[in-house]
Amino acid sequence: MEIQGSGFSAGLGAIQSGQRIIEKAASEIAGNTVAGAEAQPPADLTSVLLALEAGKVQAEAGSMVAKATDQMIGSLIDTFA
């Protein structure tokens, strides 16, 4: 069954956006730990870690939106069945 609707699409979009933020932050952290790389100032590392957390929160929020939409559609199907 394919679930369509703006709520579900918005949830998936938020998950994907959060994933991109996490991937970018992880890449920056990994690039800083490579041997021979210049050390990143602590303020920059803090910013990257905050971005990592923000991406996580965004992905979790998107997951909650998608789950709520799925439950709502399930309730509608149960009501009309």
Q: Domain count for the chain, please give it.
A: 1
Convert the pLDDT of each residue in 19-73 to its tens digit.
Answer: 999 999 999 888 876 655 566 565 688 999 999 999 999 999 999 999 998 888 7
Residue 6 in any domain: the answer is no
User: Which domain, by its residues, includes 71?
Assistant: 12-32+39-76
Residue 81 in any domain: the answer is no
Residue 2 in any domain: the answer is no
Q: What 3 state SS string does the chain have?
A: CCCCCHHHHHHHHHHHHHHHHHHHHHHHHHHHHCCCCCCCCHHHHHHHHHHHHHHHHHHHHHHHHHHHHHHHHHHHHHHHC
Measured distance CA(68)–CA(11) in Å, rounded: 9
Residue 43 in any domain: the answer is yes
Residue 55 in any domain: the answer is yes
Residue 3 in any domain: the answer is no
Residue 26 in any domain: the answer is yes
What's the pTM value of the predicted model, to 2 decimals? 0.73
Residue 1 in any domain: the answer is no
